[in-house]
Chains A and B, each alone.
Chain A
Amino acid sequence: MADENDDLIPPSKPLFPVTADDIVDNALQSLDEQQAREVTKKAADEVVRIAVEKRKAEYRTDRAQEEMRNLINNANLLDEKVGDYKINSTFETATGTTSVEIKKSKTNFTLIVGGLMALLLVILIFVFLKG
């Protein structure tokens, strides 16, 4: 009995679910000659399109690399000449967009140090007067 049941469903051929590949295979077999030719042409066009897009993307990466190097040089020049600066830059790369923010703020640092020293002085005066 068990053998009979086994024969009903061949092990290599599941009845359900039909895979996405099966659906595409069936659809391909149902196409007429003209449609099949159009499909082959479109598939070839897509391969070329993707290759062209990849080449364009590689070019964008090279250009972004060059622009990033320029940004580093400009930021380092600024760093030597001025205390405070903030640079925002955006690069179109192969895979998307890179945003960079470079900043240095000596004024803020000086203010914080000055503030802390003033506070310390006030505390010392307070302690001295109390003592």
Chain B
Amino acid sequence: MALSVVIVLAVCLTTFVLWNRSRSRTAPRLTRSQENANLVKVLLELEEEPREQLFTLYQEQFGTGAARYARQTYQKWKEGTVRPNKQTFRRFLLNLPHVMNFDLKCEVLRELREAYCARDTYEVTVTTDNWKQTLTPMVQSVFEKASTAELPQSISRRLTWLASDDVTVANAILAESQARETANALTMLEKEFSNIDELLNNMQGTGKVTHQLKLPLGTIILNIRKGKRDG
């Protein structure tokens, strides 16, 4: 009896140690302060116009002095040389969203999706004859991802305003946009392959062509060879 208890305990202990080791290897855990700094950094990636709106709103809500400090330090927060404190994080990412207009909220959400939605990367060798057939399954997967992508739970749990009705609608608009952008890119790929085909057919010497297809939620690296049909 005692022996079986010892064996069970040993198995449990080994499993725990292995699980813990694999967990620490796969994802280095960020501290709360590092997570906050990253979120502020993402927010400050906004284009110039929405970023200006953000600072104006910041000034309205927290006063001229706070806004001046934010404007002076923003580049350092963005570069990571200065880490924003808890109050700055709270102001930018917890308080301000409640007073942002829909447009600005959409732009903030766009940056968050850009930074946190999971992306796929594929690498595949195709010829100018068979690229469509080879790409179909990957494209379907990336297209589906563009339509259904969501922010990770860890972010949604902290930024509770993400669950509000207008942000749900904003998310749907951005997902639809990304799906349309993916579809547009794919229609243009036909013309690009025709250009590459022309290049491979008309050059002397040996050619190596690689195309990096950048889609909103994934990248497909294509190593392109000359098709047999072209001789």
Contacts A42-B170, A50-B184; A102 near B206 (Cβ below 8 A): yes
Question: Which A residues touch B205, using CB under 8 A?
Answer: 75, 79, 85, 102-104
The answer to whether A58 touches B188, judged by C-beta atoms less than 8 angstroms apart, is yes
Tell yes or no: B10 within 8 A of A by CB.
Answer: no
Contacts A42-B102, A46-B173, A57-B184; A98 near B166 (Cβ below 8 A): no
Question: Which B residues touch A43, using CB under 8 A?
Answer: 173
Contact of B209 among A75, A95, A99 (CB under 8 A): A99
The answer to whether B211 touches A102, judged by C-beta atoms less than 8 angstroms apart, is no
The answer to whether A95 touches B203, judged by C-beta atoms less than 8 angstroms apart, is no
Tell yes or no: A129 within 8 A of B by CB.
Answer: no
* Complex interface: stretch among A1-9, A19-27, A113-121: A19-27
Contact of A39 among B166, B177, B202, B215 (CB under 8 A): B166
Q: Which residue of chain A is the closest to B211 with respect to CB atoms?
A: A98
Question: Which A residues touch B210, using CB under 8 A?
Answer: 98-99
The answer to whether B173 touches A102, judged by C-beta atoms less than 8 angstroms apart, is no
Tell yes or no: B159 within 8 A of A by CB.
Answer: no
Task: Find the residue from B196, B203, B206, B214 having the highest chain A CB count within 10 A.
Answer: B203
Tell yes or no: B172 within 8 A of A by CB.
Answer: yes
Query: What distance in Å separates the Cβ of A75 from its nearest Cβ neighbour in chain B?
Result: 5
Chain A at the B interface: mostly helix, strand, loop or mixed? helix
Complex formed: what's the CA distance from A41 to B106 in Å?
12
Q: Which residue of chain B is the closest to A100 with respect to CB atoms?
A: B209
Task: Find the residue from A31, A58, A61, A102 having the highest chain B CB count within 10 A.
Answer: A102
Tell yes or no: B199 within 8 A of A by CB.
Answer: yes
Query: What distance in Å separates the Cβ of B57 from its nearest Cβ neighbour in chain A?
Result: 15
The answer to whether B195 touches A95, judged by C-beta atoms less than 8 angstroms apart, is no
The answer to whether A42 touches B103, judged by C-beta atoms less than 8 angstroms apart, is yes
Complex formed: what's the CA distance from A49 to B191 in Å?
22
Tell yes or no: B120 within 8 A of A by CB.
Answer: no
Within 8 A of B (CB), among A40-68: 41-43, 45-46, 49-50, 53-54, 57-58, 61, 64-65, 68
Chain B, residues 70-104, CB within 8 Å of chain A (1/0): the string is: 00000000000000000000000000000001110
Question: Which A residues touch B8, using CB under 8 A?
Answer: none
Tell yes or no: B25 within 8 A of A by CB.
Answer: no
Query: What distance in Å separates the Cβ of B50 from its nearest Cβ neighbour in chain A?
Result: 12
Question: Which A residues touch B196, using CB under 8 A?
Answer: 68, 98
Complex formed: what's the CA distance from A104 to B203 in Å?
11
Question: Which A residues touch B211, using CB under 8 A?
Answer: 93, 95-99
Which residues of B come within 8 Å of A, CB atoms? 101-103, 106, 148, 165-166, 168-170, 172-174, 176-177, 180-181, 184-186, 188-189, 191-192, 195-196, 198-199, 202-215, 219
Q: List 21 A-B contacts (CB under 8 A).
A: A27-B165, A27-B168, A28-B165, A28-B169, A35-B102, A38-B102, A42-B103, A42-B106, A57-B184, A79-B204, A79-B205, A85-B205, A95-B186, A95-B215, A98-B192, A98-B196, A100-B199, A100-B207, A100-B208, A100-B209, A102-B206
Given contacts A23-B168, A27-B169, A99-B210, 5 further A-B contacts (CB under 8 A): A53-B184, A61-B188, A68-B199, A95-B211, A98-B209
Sorted nearest first, the 4 A-B pairs with minimum C-beta distance are A38-B102, A104-B205, A27-B168, A27-B165
